[in-house]
């Protein structure tokens, strides 16, 4: 081997020593990231679907409708939305002949790092007891974190003119709510790709048809 050939070999080995480890690291990170990304996206879709359309509930043993089906009750008169706060919203599901449920008061709330759903027999404003609520979705507990969006509240309310409202709580103004925006972040760990964590920002909007 000539001196030139030896120099070429040493240079090639040096290039490989510099370039290969980062590629291996990137590959291993992607290998870990992809299943986490799929789980985060699936969890986010399930949360939105449960909040807006509804989903199977372990509390009732059957499908529980979401905000899209909220409706006022005429006798006695009760609003479709019975509590409206930044971190929780309660809505009324009137009598449904297809189910055994009658006038269910459903509550959705952000509790730490998960969305929880509970059912009341009346429109009390007190928070639910842990034994009466379920996590949505239950199979992502402890793996996917559901958090407040950095720039938006979990629930945001709009009136008949499409103007943003201050969350009225349990007081006056509930009958004025015509639209509710939902915004949250779903992520694993700290949501940092350098650590193979996945993150997705989710927003959705639902019209309240019978306030």
Per-residue pLDDT tens digits for 157-190: 999 999 999 999 988 889 999 999 999 999 999 9
The number of domains in the chain is 1
Q: Name the band, by pLDDT with cuts 50, 70 and 90, for residue 81.
A: very high
Q: Compute the average pLDDT of residues 71-82.
A: 85
Report the alpha-carbon distance of residue 61 to residue 207 in Å, rounded: 27
Model confidence pTM above 0.85 = no
Q: Name the band, by pLDDT with cuts 50, 70 and 90, for residue 56.
A: very high
Cα–Cα distances in angstroms (integers) from residue 22 to residues 18, 19, 32, in the given order = 8, 6, 15
Write the CB contacts of 95 (distance below 8 Å, at least 6 apart in sequence). Answer: 102, 103
The range of the structural domain enclosing residue 75 comes to 3-207
**Residue 182, token pair as written in the block:** 């939902």
Q: What angle do CA 81, 102, 168 make, to 5 degrees?
A: 10
Q: Is 209's pLDDT higher than 90?
A: no
């Amino acid at each position: 081997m000539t001196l030139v050939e030896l120099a070429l070999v040493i240079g090639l080995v040096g290039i490989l020593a510099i370039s290969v480890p980062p590629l291996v690291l990137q590959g291993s990170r992607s290998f870990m990231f992809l299943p986490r990304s799929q789980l985060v996206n699936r969890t986010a879709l399930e949360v939105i679907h449960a909040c807006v359309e509804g989903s199977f509930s372990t509390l009732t043993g059957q499908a529980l409708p979401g905000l899209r089906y909220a409706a006022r009750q005429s006798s006695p008169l009760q609003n479709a939305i019975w509590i409206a706060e930044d971190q929780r919203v309660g809505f009324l599901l009137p009598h449904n002949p297809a189910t055994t449920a009658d006038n269910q008061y459903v509550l959705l709330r952000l509790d730490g790092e998960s969305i929880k759903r509970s059912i009341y027999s009346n429109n009390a404003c007190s928070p639910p007891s842990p034994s009466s609520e379920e996590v949505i979705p239950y199979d992502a507990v402890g793996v996917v974190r559901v958090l407040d969006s950095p720039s938006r509240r979990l629930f945001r309310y709009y009136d008949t003119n499409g103007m943003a409202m201050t969350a009225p709580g349990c007081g006056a103004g509930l009958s004025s709510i015509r639209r509710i925006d939902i915004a949250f972040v779903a992520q694993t760990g700290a949501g940092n790709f350098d650590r193979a964590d996945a993150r997705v920002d989710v927003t959705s909007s639902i019209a309240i048809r019978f306030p």
